[in-house]
């Protein structure tokens, strides 16, 4: 069965995405790391669906795909706005809210 190594791979990919999200300050790379983490979650769903022989994993993959498409279209619009207004992509530069 390939589902156990696939789950391990999903964990590794999710950890890589999380490390990238926490360590990079360029907002475009943070988006890419989010995509990697979404893919890791989708791989976990597919592995679960393959393990039990059910189609629910692939249906959840479809929903994750929809979510990723909507998220990317809005987030890239925000990236364009930020780069237009602040002339940088550094996430630490967007500190107007003093968070």
Partner 1 sequence: METLFYIAAAVTILATLRVITHVHAVHALLYLVVALIALSLIFYLLGAQFAAALEIIIYGGAIMVLFIFVVMLLGPLAVEQERTWFSLSAWIGPSILALVLLGEVGYLIASGDHPTMAVAEPRQKAISIALYGPYIIGVELASMLLLPGLIGAYHLGRRLSSEARSC
As a whole number of Å, the CA-based R_g of the chain is: 17
Q: Which of residues 33-62 bind partner 1 (CB under 8 A)?
A: 33, 35-36, 39, 42-43, 46-47, 49-50, 55-59, 61-62
Q: Which of residues 5-34 bind partner 1 (CB under 8 A)?
A: 5-6, 9, 12-13, 16-17, 19-20, 23-24, 26, 28-29, 31-33
Phi-psi region of 54 (alpha: psi -120 to 50; beta: other; left: phi over 0): beta
Q: Is 81 in the site for partner 1 (CB under 8 A)?
A: yes
The two tokens of residue 82 are: 């930020």
d(CA 89, CA 39): 24
Please return the burial class of 17, using the count of CB atoms within 10 Å of its CB with bins 0-12, 13-18 and 19+: buried
**Where does this chain bind partner 1 (CB under 8 A)?**
2-3, 5-6, 9, 12-13, 16-17, 19-20, 23-24, 26, 28-29, 31-33, 35-36, 39, 42-43, 46-47, 49-50, 55-59, 61-63, 65-74, 76-81, 83-84, 89
């Amino acid at each position: 069965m390939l589902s156990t190594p696939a789950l391990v791979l999903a964990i590794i990919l999710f950890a890589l995405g999380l490390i990238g999200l926490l360590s990079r300050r360029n907002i475009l790379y943070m988006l890419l790391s989010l995509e990697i983490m979404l893919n890791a979650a989708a791989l976990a769903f597919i592995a679960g669906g393959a393990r039990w022989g059910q189609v629910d994993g692939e249906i959840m993959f479809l929903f994750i795909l929809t979510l990723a498409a909507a998220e990317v279209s809005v987030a890239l619009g925000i990236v364009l706005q930020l780069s237009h207004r602040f002339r940088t992509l550094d996430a630490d530069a967007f500190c107007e809210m003093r968070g």
